[in-house]
Structure 1
Amino acid sequence: MENPEILLKRRRNADQTRLAKQQLASQGKRREKKNRFIRAESIVAKTLASQREKVRVKRINKSIKSHDRDNNKILDETQGGTKTTYDGKPQLLFVVRVKGPHAVSIPQKVFKILQVLRLEQVNTGVFFRLNPTTFQLLKIIAPYIVIGKPSLSTVRSLIQRRSRINWKGLQINLNDNNIVEEALGEHGIICMEDIVHEISTMGETFKQCCYFLLPFQLARQVSGFSALKRLKKLEQRQKERQVSNASSAPLVEIDIDQLLNEMN
């Protein structure tokens, strides 16, 4: 039987060797990233795409300042050019953050709006009250989102199954009506069903309920490995590219109930 001191020494040496190898590996990765070759075509493409995006934002800002209400339309070019008009009445939407145009630096104004809506991360979603003022915001961030009108069952399912909150410095799942009453009781909200009702009907405490909930973390869309699944995925990517790289960048309205079912 070996001396315990020798065993401890071997173990210590093994730990030091492992840490040294990890440090060398991390340094090698940093060097690879630092010395990675970037093609001139990539730089040019990124510059041109970013310039087009800045022009798009400036054009929308100009239309907002001129109060052009004829532009209050949701255009979905991915579905045969179907036009969905917005009549100015308040509507409940669920807004999902998606990947933006390829190789584009996000303009500062777009980034600020995404921050205000708490949509900094891809595959996150929030409830949103659409009106003529907020519609203009959606047009500015159109290439980075998709929107849909959630049904009551979808609103209830999201809140009951996926809602998370910041509570006393911790992020926790919302599954206790006592917490709801303590946080929102002064507004007359005492249970999760009250939150469902306020959001689905866009009640007086809609804003308080939405900001009480953290942005919903959505799973990646389900996709298989069969030939048909891969073809469908490629077609979807092509549609996204056509919308994202378009100079007009229309808002894309989808069946949000179906999308969320696929992400469950």
Structure 2
Amino acid sequence: MSLPKVSEVVIRKRKSIAEVKAKRSVQVKNQQVKAKQAKGRKKNFKRIEEFVIQNRAKNEDSKRLEKIVKKAKSAKVNLSKKAIAKAAEPKEKYVATGLPVVFAVRLLPMNGTCAETRKALLRLRLWGLNTGAFVRLDERNQKLLNKVSPYVAWGTPTNKTIRELVVKRGTGRIEGKRVPITDNALIEKELGDKNIICLDDIIHEISTSGDHFNDANNFLWPFKLAKPAEVKRAVKVKNPKTLNVGGDKGDEINTLIGAIN
């Protein structure tokens, strides 16, 4: 049985459709390549622009730190022999109990910060955005806070604020890991030799700036907090430092903590 013959008209029509499809396929591929190239160029332009902005911000940050250093130098007076002797004492002796305790919160990203500012943030344990930590306000830490003031807000927390932070957000550092404080036995195991055996003991050491403040504070992992409503605008501002959200807030820090805890 012979197969039915296909007319020449149908063959030409099929060939024409195949050619149209082939041309269309080539056109689509060309359009995709062009779109990809245009997108790549757009990304490159954006990266260059961002680089310029960040470089400018770093220069501004370096100048800001230079002003702080110059201001500190100009404020110096002739030291008495007693003051010189005190300055020469070992650092261990300098760390005294009873110094004020502040709570510091990092509110802005490190974009455009110079190396010295980043180092100060790390020393304050504020390496993450919207993280907070207790800081004993000695001379060294005051200088560090001044360096990072555009990015960090700090102030004096009340006993109520300290308790709410530790109870709600407190986690412990155990063998270099963040561990939820679910049992006082964890605290006693890590800090029992310092007579700190429960959460209340940690809160007491922090709030009174006690003899074992450093032990209690270093046991606590930096607190993860929510982003304040007024800081959310920072993502829409080219230079978020202009928001002036940082610096010494005094007692107002308690209101801020209440909003983000």
- How far off is 1:90 after superposition? 3.0
| 1:147 counterpart residue number | 154
- What is the distance in 2 between the residues matched to 1:203 and 1:38? 54
Q: Pick from 175, 184, 189: which aligns with 1:182?
A: 189
Q: Is the 8 A contact 1:123 1:218 kept in 2?
A: yes
- How far off is 1:51 after superposition? 1.2
- What is the distance in 2 between the residues matched to 1:126 and 1:250? 15
Q: Pick from 236, 259, 263: which aligns with 2:260?
A: 263
Amino acid of the structure 2 residue aligned with 1:63: K
Amino acid of the structure 2 residue aligned with 1:110: T
- How far off is 1:113 after superposition? 1.4
Cα distance per residue 1:73-110 (max 9 Å; x no partner): xxxxxxxxxxxxxxxx9322100011158x52x21111
- How far off is 1:172 after superposition? 1.9
Q: Pick from 247, 251, 256: which aligns with 1:251?
A: 247
SS at structure 2 position matched to 1:122: coil
Cα distance per residue 1:123-174 (max 9 Å; x no partner): 0000011133321111111111011211101101111111112334642211
| 1:5 counterpart residue number | none
Q: Is the 8 A contact 2:108 2:240 kept in 1?
A: no
- How far off is 1:183 after superposition? 0.6
1:93 aligns with 2:90: no
Amino acid of the structure 1 residue aligned with 2:259: E
Q: Is the 8 A contact 2:196 2:202 kept in 1?
A: yes
Amino acid of the structure 1 residue aligned with 2:106: R
1:136 aligns with 2:132: no
SS at structure 1 position matched to 2:249: coil
Structure 2 portions without partners, runs of 5+: 1-34, 78-97
- What is the distance in 1 between the residues matched to 2:41 and 2:130? 29
How is 1:62-211 mapped onto 2 (pairs within 5 angstroms)? Answer: 62-65=70-73, 68=76, 90-100=99-109, 104=112, 106-168=113-175, 170-211=177-218
- How far off is 1:42 after superposition? 5.1
Amino acid of the structure 2 residue aligned with 1:207: N
Amino acid of the structure 2 residue aligned with 1:133: R
Q: Pick from 61, 64, 77: which aligns with 1:56?
A: 64
Q: Is the 8 A contact 2:156 2:253 kept in 1?
A: yes
Residues 157, 250 of structure 1: alpha-carbon distance in 2 compared, 3 angstrom cutoff: closer
SS at structure 2 position matched to 1:55: helix
How is 1:35-46 mapped onto 2 (pairs within 5 angstroms)? Answer: 36-38=43-45, 43-46=51-54
Q: Is the 8 A contact 2:184 2:198 kept in 1?
A: yes
SS at structure 2 position matched to 1:219: coil
Q: Is the 8 A contact 1:198 1:209 kept in 2?
A: yes
- How far off is 1:111 after superposition? 1.1
Greater C-alpha Rg:
2
1:242 aligns with 2:250: no
- What is the distance in 1 between the residues matched to 2:71 and 2:215? 31
TM-score, normalising length: structure 2: 0.65
Residues 33, 252 of structure 1: alpha-carbon distance in 2 compared, 3 angstrom cutoff: farther
